[in-house]
Amino acid sequence: MSELSREKRIGIVSVVGAVGNTLLAVMKIVVGFIAGSLSLIADGFDSVTDIFTSLIGVFAARVMSKPPDKEHPYGHGRVESIATKIVAFIIVLAGFGLAKQAVGNLLSGEELVQPGLIALIAAAISMVGKTMLAFYKFREGKKLSSMMLIADAKNMRNDVAISSTVFLGLLFSKVLHLPILDPIAALFVSVWIIFVGFQVFTESLSELMEGYSEKEDYLKIFAIVESMEGVENPHRVRIRTVNNMLIIDLDIEVDPLMCVRDAHQIAVNIEREIRQALDNVYDVLVHVEPIGNVEHLEKYGLCRDDFLE
C-alpha cells in the first residue's frame, strides 16, 4: 500500500466517522431535550466531540499527504500524533463540562423529570450505531497502522459502553420510576469520558518521546548484522517512529584496513536486509566504524546485551 493511498483511506474513514457521529449526535440531543433526559443529552454531546475528532482526522490526512520538504525532511507524518493529542484534549474537556452539568442537576434540589420512552429508543439506536462505527474505525486503523484512527476507535468503543449505560439508566429509571438515575448515569458517562481522554493522551506519548518497545524488531536487526561476514559489534541501535514508519540508526564495526567501497557495500546490504525483515521502514542509517573504536561522546543506543535477561 502506498503512503498516498494510506492517507486517502484515513481521510475517507474520518469522513465516514464524522457523518455517522453527526447523525447520532443530532438525534440524541434533540430527543434528549424532548424527552427530558440529561444522560441522553450528555451522550449526544459526547458524539459531538467525536465529530470534531473525525474532522481532525480529515485535516491530519491532508497534511500527511504533503511530501517531505526543506523544513520537514522526514515528511509530515507527526501531524497524526499531534492530532491524537488534540482529540484527547477535546474528549477530556467535554467530560468535565458534562460532569459539571450532571452534578449541578443532582444538587439543585429541583424535581427531576421522568424521561420518555423515545429516549430509551434513541439510546438503543445509539448503541447499534456506535458499535458499527467503532468496529469500522478499529478495523481500518489496524489495516493502516494509524495511531490516530485506533485512538478514535477506542474512544468510540467506549462510547458503546456509554450508550449502554445511558440505555440501562433510562430503562431502570422508567421501570423503577426513579428519575434520579438519569443524572447519575450522566455523571458516570462524564467520568468515563474523562478517563478515556487521559488514556488516549498517555498512549500517544511514545511517538513524540521517540520511544519504541518492540523487542523483536531490535533482535531482528542484531541477527541481520551478525549474519554479515566481516561485520562486528552492532551497537547504538535506535528505532523511532514517524507516524507508522520506522527510522533506524545503528553503528557497526569493520576491519580498519577495509576500503571505503567495501564498507559502504556492507552498509547497503544491511539496509536492504533490514527493509526486507521489518515492515514500514522509512529510512536506515548505518554508521561504519573501525573495529575496537571507542567514541567517548557517543550518544545512547542499544546493543544485544541490553536484551539479555
3-state secondary structure 203-241: HCHHHHCCCCCCHHHHHHHHHHHHCCCCCEEEEEEEEEE
Residue 51, helix vs strand vs coil: helix
**Res. 4: pLDDT tops 60:** no
Do both 284 and 223 map to the same domain?
yes
User: Could you tell me if 43 and 123 lie in one domain?
Assistant: yes
Could you tell me if 76 and 118 lie in one domain? Answer: yes
Residue 62 pLDDT > 90: no
What sign does the dihedral 13-14-19-25 (CA atoms) show? positive
Where do the DSSP E strands lie in the chain?
A: 232-242, 245-254, 281-290
Give the pLDDT confidence score for residue 257 in this predicted structure.
92
Q: Are residues 228 and 168 located together in one domain of the fold?
A: no
Residue where a domain terminates, one of 152, 186, 208: 208
Q: Which of 161, 193, 208 is the last residue of a domain?
A: 208
130 and 265 co-located in one domain: no
Please classify residue 280 by burial: count the beta carbons closer than 10 Å to its beta carbon, then call 0-12 exposed, 13-18 middle and 19+ buried: middle
Residue 273 has a pLDDT of: 94
Quote the cell numbers at residue 138: 478499529
Contacts 24+ apart (CB under 8 A), 170-179: 170/37, 170/39, 170/40, 170/115, 170/119, 170/120, 170/123, 171/120, 173/114, 173/115, 174/114, 174/115, 174/117, 174/120, 177/114, 179/112, 179/113, 179/114, 179/115
- Considering its fold, how many domains does the chain have in total? 2
Last residue of a domain, one of 150, 175, 208: 208
Q: Is the pLDDT of residue 109 over 70?
A: no
Q: What is the mean pLDDT of residues 30-47?
A: 77
Kindly report the pTM of this predicted structure.
0.58
Residue 268's domain comprises: 215-307
Q: Are residues 170 and 228 in the same domain?
A: no
Instruction: Look up the CATH number of the domain holding residue 177.
Output: 1.20.1510.10
Task: Examine the domain organization and report whether 71 and 127 are in the same domain.
Answer: yes
How many angstroms from the chain centroid is the CA of residue 294? 40
Residues 264 and 195 in one domain: no
Q: Which three cell numbers stand for residue 147?
A: 495511531
Q: pLDDT of 167-220, one tens digit each?
A: 777 777 666 666 666 667 777 777 877 887 787 777 667 666 667 778 889 999
User: What rounded mean pLDDT belongs to the chain?
Assistant: 79
User: Which grid cell is 224?
Assistant: 541481520
